Chains A and B, each alone.
Chain A
Amino acid sequence: MFKKDISPGSKSKVKSSVQRAIRNQLVTTYPLLAPHIDEIIPKKEQLDAMKIPDRVTLYLIGPTPLFYQHMTDALLPHLRLVHRFPTCFPSIRIDRGAIRFVLSGATLMAPGLTSTGGRLPNGDAEEKGAYGEHGRKDGEEKGKEGWYGGRELEKGEPVVVCAEGKEEACAVGILSMGTKEVKEKGKGPVVEEGHYLGDGLWRLVTE
């Protein structure tokens, strides 16, 4: 979506009522974010909206980008925010071989997730925990499994893409195939048109 460089547009202030609505929307979309919402969007802080091409709106506080939204789709976190709160977003993990494709803006395909290096939710809807809790930092070498969610994610849900052997997330996008289907089929596109490290949105200078 942001393969090309984006030139910063003008910022406009977000109405406080809209700001409230965004907060609520965030908490419902990302329940794990609820404890941190006051840190991300402090009540008194003025939220800014910046219009960028392709009908995307970027929300920021001061110079810090927080979320972006395509028309009225789900709010997706900017990667810098994901890096600050890595455990608060539903995540999946890709294997090493897929990283370079994702970082050059390719669609994320299922084999990158189903191979040994990839991680998907385990399908146990009861399980609760923080995403990537074990394993992402140092667990892999010690043989511990990184935890990548219990509940299967549905088509259309926002998801953060982490990478094998890396601490930080490398992409954000919307699933175009439920994670259950990914496991069953094992091929086809999974996340199309996302925001990835080093793309236009990432490089956008927000001052």
Chain B
Amino acid sequence: MADTEVEHALPSEPQSRHVVYCGACSLPPEYCEFGGIVKKCQDWLQKNHPEMYDRLWSEDALAAATSTLSLDAQKRAEKDAHKKALKAEALEQKHLQQIAESKVTIKRVERNKRKFVTTVTGLEAFGLENKKVAKDLGKKFATGASVTKVPSGGEEIVVQGDVSEEIEEFLLEKYKVIPEDNIELVEDKKKKGAGAGG
């Protein structure tokens, strides 16, 4: 959970306060109302810190919060909040749609008769960083893995050796955001029997 503040557990006198942060919008829960995804925050808080939920979202608290503002300002604030919420929702929708639409392509490219490299494209759409994934892939397969620019724009990860199937497995296991159907394997040349790289 992203709600825990790392506390310096000094044996003598840990004086720092422990602050709970909202798991949905990462702000301290009392600021959730400004986060734009109030509904989610409320759900999260109710589930994880019911006593705090009762305190922050009780009738009294809400009344106290709004009483200090003039009616006009209240209205404006409400309108603003509503707008923000809509915006956040739209953004999320868009994100989901993007994920549903985009594909990760794993391609085997022939380098030199029996030698292959594997290129991976389309990871950015899932919020992954090419550079980091490349590093992970390189570590996993103990091969070179680099990020190169594609002439048509964008970037691709080039991994030495034919490891397309392993990459698919690895990606599915490690980065759960990618649905299995969205991974595409492409082989450039129909050359059989090329041993799994190494």
Contact = CB atoms under 8 A, between A and B. Distances in A.
Contacts of B15: 36, 39, 85
Contacts of A164: 68
Is the interface on chain A under 10, 10 to 19, 20 to 34, or 35 or more residues?
Answer: 20 to 34
Contact of A168 (B28, B34, B69): B28
Closest 5 CB pairs of A and B: A84-B16, A83-B19, A168-B28, A103-B34, A64-B6
A43 interface: no
Given A100-B77, A168-B31, A197-B31, A86 B17 contact: yes
Interface string A37-73: 0011010000000000000000000111000000000
Contacts of B5: 80, 83-84
Contacts of B154: none
A99 interface: yes
B17 A96 contact: no
Is the interface on chain B under 10, 10 to 19, 20 to 34, or 35 or more residues?
Answer: 20 to 34
Contact of A100 (B19, B64, B81): B81
A61 to B, nearest CB: 9
Given A100-B34, A100-B80, A85 B25 contact: no
A127 interface: no
Interface in B64-92: 64-65, 68-69, 73, 77, 80-81
Interface string A161-185: 0001111101000000000000000
Nearest to B77: A100
